[in-house]
Amino acid sequence: MELHNLKPAAGSVRQNKRVGRGQGSGRGGTSTRGHKGAKSRSGYKTKRNFEGGQMPLQMRLPKRGFKNPNRVTYVGINLDRLQAIADKFKLDTIDLDNLVSNGIVKKTDRVKILGRGELTASVKVTAHACSASAKEAIEAKGGSVNLV
């Protein structure tokens, strides 16, 4: 066996259907498209959700709920995570620039400090929001919270 005499297995490759080549071929006339209608025309293409004129599924289902365009979402960072960040990066001031540069939050995220876990270090924290329990815990350890 060499490259010049490779062939596909017998019966694995069919010849293309040659349509529209006269009545004698058996596929002349309508060229296997049937009679009339959009599907027989050239350039036929359906819309994505078209169901033959029947009401599409997306339109049959009821609309539900409400998306508030003014909703503000925060990325929560708990006290135990703050402690881990302070230990890992040897920081006594944790602000938004530090969090972004160390890959903890994205530049566009809004940060909220939450009160789960223990904080042992005295840190100055800058964030967009802070829960009351987190603020209390940070200030109890001699740190401070600054809201932007």
Q: State which H helix or E strand residue 83 sits in.
A: helix 79-89
**Residue 4 located in a structural domain:** no
pLDDT, tens digit, 9 for 90 and up, residues 71-117 = 999 999 999 999 999 999 898 999 999 999 999 999 999 999 999 99
Q: How many domains does the chain have?
A: 1
**Residue 40 located in a structural domain:** no
**Residue 10 located in a structural domain:** no
**Residue 29 located in a structural domain:** no
**Residue 58 located in a structural domain:** no
**Residue 70 located in a structural domain:** no
Neighbours of 81 (CB within 10 A): 15
**Residue 97 located in a structural domain:** yes
pLDDT, tens digit, 9 for 90 and up, residues 1-51 = 899 999 999 999 999 999 999 999 999 999 999 999 999 999 999 999 999
Whole-number Å distance between alpha carbons of 24 and 26: 6
109-111-115 Cα angle (round to 5): 150
Whole-number Å distance between alpha carbons of 124 and 94: 6
Q: Looking at residue 86, which CATH number applies to its domain?
A: 3.100.10.10
Neighbours of 127 (CB within 10 A): 23
pLDDT score of 85? 93
**Residue 128 located in a structural domain:** yes
> Residue 111: which domain range?
75-147
Q: Is the full-model pTM beyond 0.85?
A: no
